[in-house]
Amino acid sequence: MSTETDVRNEVRARYAEAATAVSTGAGAACDCCHPGSTCAEEGHAFGPEMYDSLSDEQLPEEAVLASLGCGNPTAVADLRLGETVLDLGSGGGIDVLLSAKRVGPEGKVYGLDMTEEMLALAMANRDRAGATNVEFLKGYIEDIPLPASSVDVIISNCVINLAIDKPRVFAEMHRVLRAGGRIGVADVVAANDLSPADRAERGSYVGCIAGALSFQEYEEGLRQAGFEEISITSTDEPMPGIFSAIVKARKRSGIRARTALSPQLPMVQKSCC
């Protein structure tokens, strides 16, 4: 993939196919972020299996079938009643609907996605669930269509690795969070000693591998954007040097959001653990 447009178009096509499969009753969405295999080979090694007790949540089946993530960000975001939450790359809406239950009718949850088919599926799932505190937005995670300092928590599930301009994503996350706001993200992260070429050899950009940041790159990118209390914890190693991870951080209290964008993230060569 040579340009941001190329990557976006391939990601959009892949996720549109996944949404269509669910909407038409063809079955579960193909797991776009499952390193090292295809749906036909191993099925949902990520996806719904990353969530405990989904049967107790009474979610629409279509929301569960459309899950393509590598973790459960709502399990680590510590959502509270009345909070405003933003889900970056919200897909079929599973994390938005789970968040909506946790923040209650006093809270608000936004889901942001660039794919028309996923947005249509997510809106249908919202209506099936009867969620009245949910709004889905069309747009890119590099250019979030919300005002500055408007959300308390940002979640995301296996999406940031797909962005070309990650410093811009981190800067946008920082911009829309209120002072003291936090992130709870599930993502694919690479070992520090894997070069970009090593990552590309292990998998494609749309397969969530070539675009994965290393542990230290991720931490430094968040810190440059103005975050603190950063932790990146591996939860699984589906292939050597490639990890599912939970990323947590907080925006400093009482300071203005940074607007300057770092031109690129520094490369580091250290072991991840």
- pLDDT, one tens digit per residue, over 33-89 is 544 443 433 333 444 444 555 545 555 455 454 455 566 788 788 899 999 999 999
Kindly state the average pLDDT of the residues 232-253. Answer: 93
| HSE (side-chain half, CA atoms, 13 Å) at 78 | 6
* Neighbouring C-beta atoms of residue 25, cutoff 10 Å: 8
Residue 119: pLDDT band (50, 70, 90) is very high
pTM: 0.80
157 vs 208 pLDDT, higher one = 157
Give the pLDDT confidence score for residue 23 in this predicted structure.
58
* Confidence check: pLDDT of 94 > 90: no
Kindly state the average pLDDT of the residues 182-205. Answer: 90
* Neighbouring C-beta atoms of residue 229, cutoff 10 Å: 11
Kindly state the average pLDDT of the residues 242-255. Answer: 89
206, two tokens: 């749309």
Give the pLDDT confidence score for residue 252 in this predicted structure.
92
Q: Which of 159-173, 184-198, 203-217 has the lowest mean pLDDT?
A: 203-217
Kindly state the average pLDDT of the residues 199-212. Answer: 82
154 vs 236 pLDDT, higher one = 154
Helix 116-129 and helix 4-23, axial crossing angle in degrees, nearest 10: 40
- Gyration radius (Cα) of the chain, Å: 17
Q: What percentage of the chain reaches a pLDDT higher than 70?
A: 70
Give the pLDDT confidence score for residue 45 in this predicted structure.
41
The CATH homologous superfamily of the domain defined by 4-251: Vaccinia Virus protein VP39 (3.40.50.150)
Return d(Cα 152, Cα 144) in angstroms, integer. Answer: 15
Give the pLDDT confidence score for residue 202 in this predicted structure.
86
pLDDT in tens, 122-140: 999 999 899 999 999 999 9
Give the pLDDT confidence score for residue 271 in this predicted structure.
38
Domain ranges of the chain: 4-251
